[in-house]
């Protein structure tokens, strides 16, 4: 029987097999299931080609069919389906080209485990072991070096000695790996609960010498080496690095690590909040200004930088203070930019409107003015804009 968490996949596997091909669940989903951990995404490996898969299902998206991968949308959930790697078009051959034994365990539609390379034993031993020859696996795709560290961080596993030696010896090959791929693994690595083990592992294998920016200034790793708490995400990571070490600025971090504009904007906001914190501490304006999705990253950042605050305590106090604020956001302020324009019909629109609105907003947040339309309008009329 397929475990409950995989039930929706049964129909997919069966549909492929009805057409004379074979298909298995593989990778992180099987690994996490065996570890009783939550499952992120379900990957399927099959003897069928992407073209065949496209004829088996009504809703197929081509994401990388040249690499054998298509996305099947089943009951609104996407599943990555990849044709067996290797030359033999067999499961065993496919599993050989996976990175670690714990990721090379397959499950068929009846829930039977197919474990050719000892993955379940290594899972029980909490060991990350390369499939067959570590050197071959790492040379084939040096990204696996970072993936190994990512799993140390996420799973609190140790790296098999042979693999660790190869990682150190072949770390220079990371320079050939696309930064986007490294970033994808790094994003998961910094969120892992065993991040301290991951730093130790990076130190021992000297991987940092081949990572963007760290390779230009290897002592940057010292800023991370003592850190015990995971990051909330990339924005917090970048903001932390900028605060702790001014060798590189935000722009350089974003550019060299090929991070998105979204990360850049969030990191920039975190740094602005931090500047405010340095000048004024945690005052009402800071609590008001920190946007809701950034509350947790900002609190975690403060906790890391100041070291003497408990993130949980801080979060609780933060939320209490936030609840007590007269307004939570500009949308709950009873006057708008439009109201202000109406009060000064002779004036042309411009930056003054936003400035005046901010003044009113600050006065309301600080409790100097009530959030009442008549009073705020009166106040605005008594404080006309000085110049255009």
Point out which residues bind Mg ion (CB under 5 A). Answer: 28, 41
Segment near ligand ATP (CB under 6 A); pick from 143-151, 245-253, 331-339, 374-382: 143-151
Residue 136 within binding range of ligand ATP, rule CB under 6 A: no
Residue 143 within binding range of ligand ATP, rule CB under 6 A: yes
Distance of CA 372 to the CA centre of its chain: 41
Segment near ligand ATP (CB under 6 A); pick from 13-21, 98-106, 171-179, 292-300: 98-106
Min CB(261)–ligand ATP separation in Å: 24
Dihedral sign for Cα atoms in the order 17, 20, 26, 30 = positive
Residue 99 within binding range of ligand ATP, rule CB under 6 A: yes
Binding mask 183-222 for ligand ATP (x = CB under 6 A): -----x----------------------------------
Cα–Cα distance measured from residue 144 to residue 256, given in angstroms and rounded to the nearest whole number: 20
104 vs 235, which CB is nearer to ligand ATP? Answer: 104
Residue 43 within binding range of ligand ATP, rule CB under 6 A: yes
Cα–Cα distance measured from residue 343 to residue 338, given in angstroms and rounded to the nearest whole number: 9
Identify what 98 binds: Mg ion, ligand ATP, none; CB under 5 to 8 Å per kind: ligand ATP
Cα–Cα distance measured from residue 368 to residue 221, given in angstroms and rounded to the nearest whole number: 46
Segment near ligand ATP (CB under 6 A); pick from 24-32, 164-172, 267-275, 319-327: 24-32
Residue 122 within binding range of ligand ATP, rule CB under 6 A: no
3 vs 354, which CB is nearer to Mg ion? Answer: 3
Cα–Cα distance measured from residue 169 to residue 98, given in angstroms and rounded to the nearest whole number: 20
# residues near ligand ATP by CB under 6 A: 15
User: Residue 113 corresponds to which tokens in the numbers above?
Assistant: 């485990």
Rg (C-alpha) for the chain, rounded Å, is 27
Identify what 143 binds: Mg ion, ligand ATP, none; CB under 5 to 8 Å per kind: ligand ATP
List Cα–Cα distances, 317 to 206, 226, 236, 303, 322, in angstroms.
41, 27, 20, 14, 8
3-state SS assignment for residue 115:
strand
What is the DSSP annotation of 15-77? Answer: HHHHTT--EEEETHHHHHHHTT------EEEESS-HHHHHHH-S-EEEEEGGGTEEEEEETTE
Residue 98 within binding range of ligand ATP, rule CB under 6 A: yes
148 vs 197, which CB is nearer to ligand ATP? Answer: 148
Binding site for ligand ATP (CB under 6 A): 27-28, 32, 40-41, 43, 98-99, 103-104, 141, 143-144, 147, 188
């Amino acid at each position: 029987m397929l475990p409950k968490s995989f039930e929706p996949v049964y129909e997919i596997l069966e549909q492929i097999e009805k057409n004379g091909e074979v298909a298995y669940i593989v990778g992180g989903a099987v690994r996490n299931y065996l570890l009783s951990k939550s499952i992120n995404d379900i990957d399927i490996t099959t003897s069928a080609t992407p073209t065949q898969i496209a004829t088996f299902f009504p809703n197929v998206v081509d994401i990388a069919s040249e690499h054998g991968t298509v996305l099947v949308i089943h009951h609104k959930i996407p599943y990555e389906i990849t044709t067996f790697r290797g030359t033999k078009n067999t499961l065993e051959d496919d599993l050989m080209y996976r990175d670690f034994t714990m990721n090379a365990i397959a499950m068929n539609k009846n829930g039977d485990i197919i474990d050719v390379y000892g993955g379940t034993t290594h899972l029980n031993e909490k060991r990350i072991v390369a499939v067959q020859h570590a050197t071959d696996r790492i040379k084939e795709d040096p990204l696996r070096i970072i993936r190994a560290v990512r799993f140390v961080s996420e799973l609190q596993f140790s790296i098999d000695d042979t693999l660790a030696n190869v990682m150190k010896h072949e770390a220079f090959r990371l320079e050939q790996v696309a930064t986007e791929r490294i970033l994808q693994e790094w994003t998961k690595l910094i969120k892992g609960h065993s991040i301290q083990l991951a730093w130790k592992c990076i130190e021992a294998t000297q991987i940092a010498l081949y990572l963007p920016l760290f390779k230009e200034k290897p002592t940057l790793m010292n800023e991370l080496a003592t850190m015990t708490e995971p990051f909330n995400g990339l924005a917090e990571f970048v903001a932390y690095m900028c605060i702790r070490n001014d060798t590189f600025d935000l722009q350089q971090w974003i550019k060299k690590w090929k991070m998105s504009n979204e990360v850049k904007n969030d990191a920039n906001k975190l740094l602005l909040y931090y500047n405010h914190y340095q000048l004024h501490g945690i005052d009402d304006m800071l609590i008001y200004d920190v946007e809701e999705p950034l509350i947790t990253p900002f609190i975690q950042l403060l906790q890391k930088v100041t070291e003497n605050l408990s993130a949980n305590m801080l979060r609780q106090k933060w939320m209490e203070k936030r609840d007590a604020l007269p307004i939570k956001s500009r949308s709950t302020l009873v006057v708008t930019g439009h109201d202000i324009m109406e009060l000064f019909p002779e004036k042309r629109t411009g930056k003054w409107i936003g400035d005046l609105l901010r003044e009113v907003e600050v006065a309301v947040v600080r409790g100097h003015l009530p959030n009442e339309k008549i009073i705020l309008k009166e106040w605005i009329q008594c404080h006309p804009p000085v110049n255009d």
